[in-house]
Amino acid sequence: MPGDTTKGKIHFFDDFLGDTINLDLYATNADTGGTAFAINTQHNGVIRGTGDGTDNDLTNIYGPAQWRADAGGPLTFEARVTLITSLADGEEYIGLSDEATDENPMTVSAADALTSTAANAVGFCYTGAGTADWKAVATNAGTDGTVTRCNVGGATTPVVGTWQTFKVVVNVDGDADYYINGVWHVNKQLAVAPATLLNIFVCQQDGGTARSTDIDYWEVWAGRR
């Protein structure tokens, strides 16, 4: 904790209440035919991003890179998300990244091979054309970590319209713990470079079937140091 304040932790929470998303906080992108993330009229506040099914089209939302794991951590990210309409194909990423740009930070192939665009990222991937369950993924300074299937205590394969809560906790050394619906799944050592600034990042990548992603809320806790 810094010596000049008792408020040693930064807390950011967005429940997406109101009638418009705050574009001072986020960038939203959708390729041709898609609809960028925006408030969707549901109870308790939800944003939705939609793709038209064109293969490899992206629909994403992210904020500025401004949180560091080593700044009096841990750095904690949590989001409540559900996939809408179809799980047949396409890729999904939910987590943190170091690049505020129109991309998909990490994807997992049908054979669970990881491809990263970001230099540092830590979160969850799912591909509808691949194996069951969400995958815990990370890349540290351009070096991709092992893809881990999240199936502790049972399957975590998404179900259309069913909410799941994703949480990743990164300590001051860059090690990460992954949770889905409160269940711990794996610890990854040196998941990301701890001094690298990270941001919230969710990306839907279409794979031939129109679909959407709904986000109920997300939250970040970080050290102020």
Is position 186 within any domain? Answer: yes
Is position 70 within any domain? Answer: yes
Question: Which CATH number characterizes residue 115's domain?
Answer: 2.60.120.200
Bridge partners (DSSP) of residue 190 are none
Is position 2 within any domain? Answer: no
**How many domains would you assign to the chain?**
1
Nearest to 24 by CA among 60, 58, 79, 64: 64
What residue numbers bound the domain in which 175 lies? 9-223
Is position 123 within any domain? Answer: yes
Is position 198 within any domain? Answer: yes
Is position 74 within any domain? Answer: yes
Is position 180 within any domain? Answer: yes
Nearest to 129 by CA among 108, 99, 115, 100: 108
Is position 1 within any domain? Answer: no
Q: What is the pLDDT along the chain (225 residues), one digit of tens a residue?
A: 676 887 889 999 999 999 999 999 999 999 999 999 999 989 889 999 999 999 999 999 999 999 999 998 899 999 999 999 988 889 999 999 999 999 999 999 999 999 999 999 999 999 998 999 999 999 999 999 999 999 999 999 999 999 999 999 999 999 999 999 999 999 999 999 999 999 999 999 999 999 999 999 999 999 998
